[in-house]
Amino acid sequence: MPQFIIFIDFDYFFAQVEEILNPEIREKPVVVCVYSGRTETSGAVATSNYLARKIGIKSGMPLPQAMKIGKDRAVFLPIRKDIYKEWSDHIMDIISEYSDKIEIASIDEAYIDVTDSCKDFNDAVNTAQKIKDEIYNKTGVRVSVGVSVNKAIAKVLGDMAKPNGIKSVGPSEIQDFLKGLEISKIPGVGKVIGQRLNDAGIKYITDVINADRDQLINIIGTAKYNYLYDIANNTYNKPVTPREKKNFGRYMTLPENTRDVNIIIPYVKKAIDSAYEKAPGLPSELSLVAIMEDISILSRSYTGARIDKNRALEIAIGLLNRIINEDQRNIRRVGVRLGKITKNETLDDFF
């Protein structure tokens, strides 16, 4: 039975979050920068939106060069990792509701295996669309999605779907798709390796099948050769490998945007109940996360001794009141995130 793998890529994630938080910059080239601190302009581009890319500003570019290109046109912003991490955690929680088999590849990429929950490939594609829609409806973040029979091809399709698209290749289409797939599109084949393979007569992934094995191993090594050969033969089936979750969260949509704690608290309790059901032990860190009416995210955290569920509600209410007192906006969604989990001990652990 084939795998049904969904790859999800958060489009130009850092810059997109900045656009959501400040809608006035959406129609401008937006550049998120890592400043080195040596001078006011030293550093590099972390990411840029598509308008910035159109004028030639790309990730990794030295900041002085980017500023020269984007002078009087682009918006340059310092990177805010904590904010992007909060948004990423929220989106990953949405994705994880569809399957326990989720592999977080980076802050803005994830694979999810829906083989067990989907009756056929069409069902997997429909699930991918639901995930894409839910992420947008709940966060405003646009994602590109690829759906296929393995991780490598799902990622290829996710890259092809940019921006804000969805592409799929199912079991009945995979052989024809592979015949026309350029080797340079395969994950893990960079410019250097791609050029070496092209020079050896390997333009498409299926060219690997009939190529001289020893020659290719001399060029790219045994592990890379086996990887490409498996993809070409459609026998690549590396599983989605969930990382051990360090945080467990749950978000609830309020019936209306509000600041009324009497309306919000029952939803905080539901979020706590759900988060504690997922967690393998007791946390010593609890965060109350509020998604505001403009979809911006605020959070306040408590760290202390192990927190049982009864005390969690008391702590969460205190954190909620802090947010209400510090910010005048209405709250759209509310969530609880548990961290620094200590696994529960049982008598079996002592024998």
Residues 6+ apart with CB under 8 A from 62: 43, 44, 45
Give me the phi and psi of 122, to 5 degrees please.
Answer: -60, -40
Whether the upstream peptide bond of residue 78 has omega within 30° of 0, thus cis, is no
SS3 202: coil
Strand order across the 43-48 sheet: 43-48, 30-35, 75-78
Q: How crowded is residue 266: how many other Cβ atoms within 10 Å of its Cβ?
A: 11
Instruction: Check if 109 is active-site.
Output: yes
Whether the upstream peptide bond of residue 163 has omega within 30° of 0, thus cis, is yes
pLDDT in tens, 27-68: 999 999 998 877 878 899 999 999 999 999 999 999 999 999
Residues 6+ apart with CB under 8 A from 167: 145, 146, 147, 157, 158, 160, 161
SS3 316: helix
- 331-343/248-258 β-pairing: antiparallel
pTM for this model (two decimals):
0.84
Burial of residue 77, with CB atoms counted within 10 A of its CB: 0-12 exposed, 13-18 middle, 19 or more buried: middle
Superfamily of domain covering 5-9+99-123+143-233:
5' to 3' exonuclease, C-terminal subdomain (1.10.150.20)
Can you name the residues that pair with 301 across neighbouring β-strands?
Answer: 287
Q: Please answer whether residues 283 and 306 qualify as being in contact, where contact means their C-beta atoms are separated by less than 8 angstroms.
A: yes
Look-up: residue for tokens 């296929």?
A: 148
List the pLDDT tens digit at each of the 351 positions of the chain: 789 999 999 999 999 999 999 999 999 999 999 988 778 788 999 999 999 999 999 999 999 999 999 999 999 999 999 899 989 999 999 999 999 899 999 999 999 999 999 999 999 999 999 999 999 999 999 999 999 999 999 999 999 999 999 999 999 999 999 999 999 999 999 888 999 999 999 999 999 999 999 999 999 999 999 999 999 999 999 999 987 667 888 999 999 999 999 999 999 999 999 999 988 899 999 999 999 998 888 999 999 999 999 899 999 999 999 999 999 999 999 999 999 998 765 444 433
Tokens standing for 59? Answer: 């990730």
Q: Please answer whether residues 180 and 38 qualify as being in contact, where contact means their C-beta atoms are separated by less than 8 angstroms.
A: no
- 30-35/248-258 β-pairing: unpaired
Ranges of each domain in the chain = 5-9+99-123+143-233, 247-349
Give, for 200, the enclosing helix (H) or strand (E): none
The pLDDT of residue 244 is 67
Rounded (to 5) percent helix, strand, coil in the chain:
45, 25, 30
Give, for 151, the enclosing helix (H) or strand (E): helix 151-160
The reply, when asked if residue 9 is annotated as ligand binding, is yes
- For residue 149, give the nearest of 237, 241, 225 by alpha carbon: 237
The CA angle 6-49-42, to the nearest 5 degrees, is 120
Q: What is the CATH number of domain 247-349?
A: 3.30.1490.100
Q: Please answer whether residues 127 and 117 qualify as being in contact, where contact means their C-beta atoms are separated by less than 8 angstroms.
A: yes
The reply, when asked if residue 273 is annotated as ligand binding, is no
The pLDDT of residue 324 is 96
Give me the phi and psi of 5, to 5 degrees please.
Answer: -115, 135
The pLDDT of residue 42 is 87
Q: Could you give the dihedral angle defined by the CA atoms of residues 158, 177, 231 and 240, in that order, rounded to the nearest 10 degrees?
A: 40
SS3 164: coil
Of 109, 134, 182, 285, which residue is the catalytic one? Answer: 109
